Amino acid sequence: MAHPHFRAYDHGPAPVTALATDYVAGHITPAHEHPYAQLIYAVHGVMIVSTQHGQWVVPPTRAIWMPPQTQHTVRMAGRVQMRSAFVDPGLAPHLAGDCVVLAVSPLMRELLLAAVALPPPHAPGSRGDHIAHLLLDELRTLPALALHLPQPRDARLQRICERLQAAPDDNSTVAQWAARLHVDAKTVQRLFARETGMSFARWRQQARLLAALERLARGDRILDTALALGYASPGAFATMFRRQFGVAPSAYFR
């Protein structure tokens, strides 16, 4: 169940409502869900959002769409200023029932901030009503981003994934993991493809990328981040980061 603080916002007092909530570094919200879909966004700080299906890292300039009735927790990497919107899911059918990270445009950011200042309900034709409709229009244009780390259900893969998230610098090969699990390497690869939709190498790279975002958001140096994630040099790490996000690590949070 959602915290009582959300109850005046997340169950339909208006088709779109917005709420400001600030959190201290390291805070973890208890597992909860909302009757309406939630667009979870932070104007400051990085959020690690988890459901039974996986984990998403949500830095500034990004938001995550959380479908209604989806159990989730949010961990704050650093101080977080959350500005989220609750949306009647019928008004955003293109987002369906999946969690997805969205790029937040400057216009969407300003619409969220404006919506927070206008508590529901909104009279037809009022400023709040116009902002809500603009927010929905902008929501339909936001591109989805690959910031998802799917979690397997197979106990053998869980052992691998838990290790790689706890020690992202672990460079053990598929063959080495297969030997530890007493299976062949092809079985490990087949399980990764079936359970996560990724190869072992792709999953490990994604885990490292998301760990990098969390470390950089805390203010860690690029050199320290690269070494902690198992890269031989900051240059190798920067190349991988730029290939995924289109900018250098030093520019990502600007």
**pLDDT computed for residue 2 by the predictor:** 46
Q: Is the model's pTM score more than 0.85?
A: no
**pLDDT computed for residue 4 by the predictor:** 43
* Helical ranges in the chain per DSSP H: 106-116, 127-139, 155-166, 174-181, 185-196, 200-218, 222-228, 234-245
For the chain, list residues with pLDDT below 50: 1-4
Residues contacting 178, CB < 8 A, separation 6+: 184, 185, 187, 188
b/e code 160-187 from CB counts within 10 Å (16+ = b): bbeebbeebeeeeebeebbeebeeeeee
**pLDDT computed for residue 220 by the predictor:** 86
